[in-house]
A = this chain, B = another copy of it.
Amino acid sequence: MTDALPPDIDEVDRQILAELQADGRMTNVELARRVGLSAPPCLRRVRRLEEQGVIRGYHADLDPQVLGWEITFFALVGLETQKQTVLSAFEAMVCEWPEVRECHMIRGGGDFMLRLVARDTAHENALTAKLTDAPNVLRVQTLQTIRTTKDASGVPVEGVPA
Near B by CB (< 8 A), chain A positions 12-61 give 17, 20-25, 52-61
Give Cα A120 to B126, complex, Å. Answer: 38
Interface size on A, residues (CB 8 A): 73
Q: CB of A1 within 8 A of chain B? A: no
Instruction: Choose one: B21, B100, B146; the contact of A62 (CB below 8 Å).
Output: B21
Knowing A66-B5, A91-B149, A100-B150 are in contact, say whether A162-B122 is a contact too (CB < 8 A): yes
Contact B145 A59 (CB under 8 A): no
B150 & A102 in contact (Cβ 8 Å cutoff):
yes
A-side binding surface: helix, strand, loop or mixed? Answer: mixed
Interface residues of A in 128-162 (CB under 8 A from B): 143-160, 162
Whether the pair B154, A61 counts as a contact (CB closer than 8 A) is yes
Option from B52, B58, B146 in Cβ contact (under 8 Å) with A24: B58
A155 to B160, CA, bound (A): 30
Are A103 and B149 closer than 8 Å at their CB atoms?
yes
Contact across chains for B67 and A17 when beta carbons are under 8 A apart = yes
Q: Which residues of B contact A62 (CB under 8 A)?
A: 17, 21, 54-56, 154-155, 157
B-chain residues with CB within 8 Å of residue A144 when the two chains form the complex: 106-107
Contact B119 A162 (CB under 8 A): yes
Q: Which residue of B has the minimal Cβ distance to A57?
A: B61
CA distance A60 to B91 in the complex (A): 26
- Sorted nearest first, the 5 A-B pairs with minimum C-beta distance are A24-B58, A20-B60, A98-B156, A25-B58, A103-B150
